[in-house]
Amino acid sequence: MDKPSVIDKEDLNKLIAKLNQQGYKTIGPTIRGEAIVYDRISSIEDLPEGWTDEQGPGHYRIKKRNDKALFGFNVSPHSWKQFLHPPEKKLWTAEKNGSSFKIIPEELENPKFAFIGVRSCELHAIAIQDKVFIQGPHIDSVYQINRKDLFTVAVNCGQAGGTCFCVSMQTGPKVNSEFDLALTEVLEKDKHYFVVETGSDRAQSIIENLDLRTAENQELKIAEEIIDNTAQNMGRFLDTEGIKETLFENLEHPRWEEVANRCLSCANCTMACPTCFCSTVEDVTDITGDHAERWQKWDSCFTMDFTYIHGGHVRNSTKSQYRQWMTHKLASWIDQFDSSGCVGCGRCITWCPVGIDLTEEVAAIRKSDKTKIDNI
């Protein structure tokens, strides 16, 4: 693609307006309910200008910055999967017709999304869900149509969050693939601009009428320094070397019982995770029995009914549920999809009510495993 360009805030506003004019539903970060969330936006006025987030194990709050950064935060409580893989969706309706009934499939809509402010770890998460929903033998038609026309305006991270570990997972903080446009926000003295990389031909057509100029070498250097500084200040580290074998070899490790004593089985980690995809189906009917609907809803390996079969529950303890989640995410996912199921966004740590830290749990198992080897 062409050499990176530079745009200012006003041209970013024009970009959003142009996407709206072309029929895209522009979704981006905005403030709602004391949090920075992803929702419908129409201009940069909706972005969280001058706000940042403070994240730690079981801790989240937003606070004012001392500048007017538009993307000066980390990741939202909810991921982009809520738009591509909705929490609830109606599959079909059934109507009674005398002694028979008629199944009416749900009509699919093409929402044509444009995501503004997607981080590198989140792009990797979308790529992982692509493997699950549209690159295997069984295609999810709703995900496929939601994903089809997706336009992504990504953002290179200008700061590391307290629970981030994307460097460990090789998923950030720099955007390197699967984007239409990638922005690096630069604030220096009285200057506020964005270095822009173009990642697709359609993105080039979107920005061709904007007042862009080619980025100078010094501006490119500053943008790279911002990203490098972010990479060097990660909030967490996860040692991934041989992680699959380490977890498989320690399925009866006492640490699983220790973490189970803290875990509430609330499923927050799976709901906040950008790659978790488990779901269930529920049938509902009206009081007359003439009308019924089938809905697909997000589910979690932490819910008791998730593994219920005719003989009972396969995983009926918090220990077995947490072990299933972590070993699937970091080990058996690799066998299924040729990649880890974790992108290092840190949401599972931030939104765990008791502050269970995935990186800490892996480190504890590794430490005792190493001690056993050293004592042989």
Q: Is residue 373 over pLDDT 70?
A: no
5 by DSSP, 3-state: which? strand
Torsion sign (Cα): 145, 89, 268, 113 = positive
Count Cβ atoms below 10 Å from residue 146 Cβ, excluding itself: 22
Q: Is residue 278 over pLDDT 80?
A: yes
How far apart CA 152 and CA 197 sit, in angstroms, is 12
Tokens of 165: 């570990």
Tokens of 162: 């307290």
Tokens of 141: 């038609």
How far apart CA 83 and CA 40 sit, in angstroms, is 11
How far apart CA 56 and CA 313 sit, in angstroms, is 34
Residue with tokens 């008629």: 102
pLDDT at residue 60, rounded to an integer:
97
Q: Is residue 178 over pLDDT 80?
A: yes
Q: What is the pLDDT of residues 80-136, one digit of tens each?
A: 999 999 999 999 999 998 888 999 999 988 899 999 999 999 999 999 999 999 998
pLDDT at residue 158, rounded to an integer:
96
Q: Using an 8 Å Cβ cutoff, are 269 and 357 in contact?
A: no
How far apart CA 155 and CA 168 sit, in angstroms, is 19
For residue 102, what are the β-bridge partners?
Answer: 95
> How is residue 306 annotated by DSSP?
G
Residue 126 has phi, psi (to 5 degrees) of -65, -40
Tokens of 68: 């007017």
How far apart CA 321 and CA 34 sit, in angstroms, is 31
Residue with tokens 């009206």: 286
Residue with tokens 């992108």: 343
pLDDT at residue 376, rounded to an integer:
42
| Angle ∠(142,148,152) on CA atoms, nearest 5 | 120
- Residues whose CB is less than 8 angstroms from the CB of residue 33 and which lie 6 or more positions away in sequence, other chains included: none
Q: Is residue 374 over pLDDT 80?
A: no
- The one-letter amino acid code at 44 reads I
Residue with tokens 């444009």: 114
pLDDT mean across residues, the chain: 93
Q: Using an 8 Å Cβ cutoff, are 183 and 153 in contact?
A: yes
Report the side by side order of strands in the sheet with 291-298: 100-105, 88-97, 291-298, 279-285
Go through 305-314 and write b for each residue having 16 or more CB atoms within 10 A of its CB, e for each that does not. Answer: ebeeeeeeee
User: Looking at residues 220-237, what average pLDDT do you find?
Assistant: 96
- The one-letter amino acid code at 176 reads N
Q: Which of 24, 26, 19, 20 is nearest to 205 (CA)?
A: 19
The secondary structure of 164-191, three-state, reads: CCHHHHCCCCCCCCCCCEEEEEEEECCE
Q: Is residue 66 over pLDDT 50?
A: yes
User: Looking at residues 327-331, what average pLDDT do you find?
Assistant: 97
pLDDT at residue 375, rounded to an integer:
45
How far apart CA 125 and CA 128 sit, in angstroms, is 5
Q: Which of 325, 330, 361, 364 is nearest to 344 (CA)?
A: 330
Q: Is residue 2 over pLDDT 80?
A: no
Among the residue ranges 215-224, 247-256, 285-294, 340-349, the one predicted with the least confidence is 285-294
How far apart CA 358 and CA 353 sit, in angstroms, is 13
pLDDT at residue 315, rounded to an integer:
87
User: Percent of the chain, pLDDT > 90?
Assistant: 84
Go through 58-93 and write b for each residue having 16 or more CB atoms within 10 A of its CB, e for each that does not. Answer: bebebeebeeebbbbbbbbbbbbbbbbbeeebebee
Residue 40 has phi, psi (to 5 degrees) of -65, 130
pLDDT at residue 236, rounded to an integer:
95
pLDDT at residue 370, rounded to an integer:
58
Q: Using an 8 Å Cβ cutoff, are 330 and 308 in contact?
A: no
